Structure 1
Amino acid sequence: MGKCPFSFMHGVTSRNDNVESPAAQPMQANFMKSAADTFHTLDGHDELNEQMRMIDLTEEDLKLLRRTKPIVERNIDYITDQFYNSVLGVDKLEAIILEHSTIERLKKTLHEHIIEIFDGNVDDAYIAKRLLIANIHKRVGLEPKWYLSAFQNLQNVFIHVIYNETTNDDDRLLIVQTVTKLLNLEQQLVLEAYEKENIKEKEQQYQSVKNELKQKIAEFSGELIDLSIDTNAAVEQLVASSNEVNNTFQRTASSALESQGMAKNGREHLDNLTGQINRIYESTNEMELSVNELSNSSKQIQKIVAAVKDIADQTKILSLNATIEAARAGEHGRGFSVVAQEVSRLAEDTKSTVVRIGELTQKSGDLTGQVVEEIRKVQELTRSGKLQSIETSRLFTDIVDSMQSSTQEIVTVEEEIKILIQTIEGIGSTTAQTAASAEFFKSATDGL
């Protein structure tokens, strides 16, 4: 396994601040720095050199660390024990340690790391190792706040050890300042690496999200283009169908107008027919009156015929009497006999003629009765035809009114269809613009 991040964390707050370190004997040494100290620098690390200059890390500080190394070596077990006693008090940190390493192994690693700090060699290898530490911390999921907390605890332990190992306040202050500088530099290196890793991770996440977004946008744009194409085709089909419906409506409207005109003509013809039927009905009424008068005349003639027949019969009787009287008169009555015979013959002819007239008038009366009956039938049919004509005329009027209303509705629907076609064409134009926008959108995402 790789080194746990706590191998490189520097500090715990001592749980037994009143416990002295194993080597608690005061140390008598001169740790005063020279007035001619120079800042420590590294080739090719301009920014890092500025950082070391800002915290006032000098070559003399590194020499002081090397002179302090024996103090740390004598107290190394105490320092590592105090560090891990604090760290293991946090459940989350203990879980990370046990997942990636063991306590004994990490104590050994921390032991080596602390001694290495006091070698006083701040070079490329030293910097690379601190950057590696930061990468390990990041990989195992150690948050910067725990790293900083542990570092502060480690610094507190160093100060405690230094105060137990030295008696001169100036020496103590100088060593504490030097140790603090180096620990601060290490924190800068690790946190900077933390930040770079975070930025790199965020860039990777951003790139991943960006690529996924591009893919989704491209898919969406493609679907939108396909949908726009399908919609445009459907709109075109709808426009074509609407135009066809509009043409059909126009033809229907034209036929309705023509039918309306024909219905009006039919109603006019029916009105004319009704007038003719009315005139026929009136004529039949007048004819009935004339026939009735003719019938009455026939009856009068029959009476006259009967009277003439009676006269003829009486004349014949008188002629017979005259003949008889002429025969009695002998030679003197012969002329009367001739006259009587002529009168008798005239009476016969008159009677025969009157009988013939009577027969004709009887027949004429019968025919007149039949004519009257037929006239009555014609009157009944005419009356029925008149009623039917009136009803038909009314129906034609209703048809004309209905057709006029339907024609008006068809015209209204035609106008609405024209508006609908314009609207659909507007939708088609908008759909085409949407497709163009989707194509542009897709091209734009390809350029991301």
Structure 2
Amino acid sequence: MLLKKRKSKEDTALFRLEENEGEIVLWSENREVSRQLSMIDLQEEDLLVLQKLRPLVKENIEKIVAQFYKNLEKESSLTKIINDNSSIDRLSQTLTIHIEEMFTGVIDQAFFDKRSKIAQVHLHIGLQPKWYMCAFQDLLLSLISLFDETIENREDYNKAIKATTKILNIEQQLVLDAYQKQHDEIRDEQEKAKIHLREEIRKMTESLAAVSEETTASLEEILSKSQYISKLSVSGAKAAAIVEEKSVSGKDDLTVHQESMIKIDDSMTRIIEEINQLKAVSKQIGSIVSMVTQIADHTNVLALNASIESARAGEHGKGFAVVAKEVRKLANETKTKASSVDDLIVKTEAQIDNVSTFVTEVNSLIANSSSKMRDINTLFGEFVFEMKHSKEQSHLIEKELHSFLQGIDEVGKAINHLSLSAEELSYLTSKQQE
């Protein structure tokens, strides 16, 4: 066995153990990895032992891989991960190559890089480290069982166990270290995200507090105006009720007045009828007076003739002459009285005509007034209806305003609660930053 020491481009240690079986390489430019190798006492001689075991492992690799995946079937979550991301056949081929590489006797940068990549894939598909450890423990047991069955020399068996344990251990260290680095990177990203989130929360809470203050001020102003509007609505409702009451009273008075106008109109109609009858009676009296005047004239003529005849009769006609004189006197007086009555009748007819004209005008005015009263009464009815509707609307507005004020009050409480929550969130955020 010849042990040579050489240097790489970076002047890092690289050991090559030359044997008939092939090249043995143990290389690391990472001081921490070097300490890890030193801690498990992995030497070039261990790599040589692994290389010598390679044919045995390769010969039984299918059995080892089959056992590996058979053991995984015990955990359903692992089966789901395999089915979701690949297949047993494909992974079996990958694992075959991976196990064979552990027995090549070479640990170099490519070895490290591949284990790091494996860790990244495992982390990506959600494989937890505990299942990785379990799987490798099963792999170790399979290899130990193989060595126990095939290696008779106790010293060679112990060397095989030690070398295999060391390579599996460094394999696990590298993968778990990559796991940890990936986890740290994710944690750092999460921490940055948390810091950013806390900053955003801080800004948001400050903005929220400002908005809360503005909203509270606006709500107070709205509340004040709403209360003022509510008072006006109540006053308006009361005024509408008073106006409605007076309108109803006025409408009732108009109705009574309209009924009185109707009665007056009926009375005036009857007066006109009576006047017309009076005019007819006056004409009849005029006819009678005319007839009396004619009778008086005729009587006067007869009395005159009687006087003449009594004069002719002489002494015997004196008595008759006295009577004729009295009759003539009565006839003249009757004619005079009839003339006076006729004058009175003429005047009466003239007055009746004037009264009739006046009554007609009054009746026309009453009729016009009645028509207007009906229109006014209709308008009052509409006005009363509108005032009633207005009062109802005022009550509805008052009710809605009351509900609105309650809603505003609830919003105010919610804003205050939100403000307190924002302050508490800001406090918690500042405490976390400390």
Give the alignment's TM-score, normalised by structure 1.
0.58
Instruction: Tell me the distance in 1 between the aligned counterparts of 2:200 and 2:212.
Output: 18
Match of 1:73 in 2: 3
Partner of 2:427: 443
**Equivalent residue, structure 1, for 2:34:** 130
**Contact between 1:315 and 1:344, CA under 8 Å: does it hold in 2?**
yes
Deviations 1:203-253 (A, max 9, x none): 432321210111122222223323333333333233223222222221221
| Corresponding residue number in structure 2 for 1:156 | none
Aligned match of 2:257: 273
Name the aligned partner's letter for residue 105 of structure 1.
Answer: K
| Cα contact 2:297–2:335 (8 A) shared by 1 | yes
Q: In structure 2, how many angstroms separate the alpha carbons of the residues matched to 1:347 and 1:296?
A: 27
Q: Trace 1:272-351 onto structure 2 (pairs within 5 A).
A: 272-325=256-309, 328=312, 343-344=327-328, 346-351=330-335
Q: Give the total of aligned pairs.
A: 321
- SS of 1:363's equivalent in the other structure is helix
Structure 2 unaligned spans of 5+: 19-28, 38-108, 122-152
Question: Residue 271 and residue 344 in structure 1: after superposition, are their counterparts in 2 closer, same or farther (change >3 A)?
Answer: same
How many Å separate the matches in 1 of 2:309 and 2:343? 35
Equivalent pair of 1:131/1:189 in contact (CA under 8 Å): no
Judge conservation of contact 1:326–1:337 (CA < 8 Å) in 2. Answer: yes
Partner of 1:105: 9
Which deviations, in whole Å up to 9, do the C-alpha atoms of 1:181-219 show, x marking residues without a partner?
765676576567545544543443232121011112222
* RCO higher in structure (CA 8 A, sep ≥6): 1
Tell me: CA distance 1:422–1:131, structure 2 relative to 1, closer, same or farther (3 Å): farther
Higher strand share: 2
Residue type at the aligned position of 1:204 = D
Contact kept? 1:260, 1:403, Cα under 8 Å: yes
Write the letter of the residue equivalent to 2:369: G
Q: RMSD of aligned C-alpha atoms? A: 4.4
Residue in structure 2 matched with residue 411 of structure 1 by the alignment = 395
Tell me how far apart the structure 2 counterparts of residues 321 and 363 of structure 1 sit (CA, whole Å). 36
Distance change in 2, residues 1:245/1:346 (3 Å): same
Q: Give the fraction of aligned pairs with identical amino acids, expressed as a percent.
A: 24
Uncovered stretches (5+) of structure 1, i.e. residues with no partner: 1-70, 78-103, 115-124, 147-168
Distance 1:397 1:435 in 2: 56
Match of 2:229 in 1: 245
Identify if the C-alpha distance between structure 1 residues 324 and 401 changes in structure 2 by more than 3 Å, giving closer, same or farther: same
Q: Indicate conservation of the 8 Å contact 1:130/1:190, yes or no.
A: no
AA at the equivalent of 2:285 = I
**Gap change, CA 1:281 and 1:183, over 3 Å in 2:** closer
**Contact 1:127–1:189 (Cα < 8 Å) also in 2:** no
Matched residue type, 1:432: N
1:233 corresponds in structure 2 to 217
Q: Which letter maps to 2:286?
A: Q
Work out whether residues 130 and 189 of structure 1, in 8 Å CA contact, stay in contact via their aligned partners in 2: no
CA gap of 1:341–1:75, structure 2 versus 1, over 3 A, is same
Give the whole-Å Cα distance in 1 for the aligned partners of 2:230 and 2:219.
Answer: 16
**1:368 CA displacement:** 1.7
Aligned partners of 1:364, 1:282: CA distance in 2, in Å?
A: 25
Task: State whether residues 303 and 324 of structure 2, in contact with CA within 8 Å, keep that contact through their aligned partners in structure 1.
Answer: yes
Kindly indicate whether the alpha-carbon contact (under 8 Å) linking 1:130 and 1:186 is maintained by their aligned counterparts in 2. Answer: no
Hey, what's the Cα distance between the residues in 2 that align with 1:113 and 1:419? 93
Contact 2:268 2:359 (C-alpha < 8 Å) held by counterparts:
yes
1:303-349 CA-to-partner distances (Å, cap 9, x unmatched) read: 22112211221122123324434555678878876775665455334
Report the counterpart of residue 262 of structure 1 in structure 2. 246
Residue 367 of structure 1 and its aligned partner are, at CA, apart by 2.5
Tell me the TM-score normalised to structure 2 length: 0.60
Q: Per the alignment, do residues 320 and 244 of structure 1 end up closer, same or farther by CA in structure 2, a change over 3 Å counting?
A: same
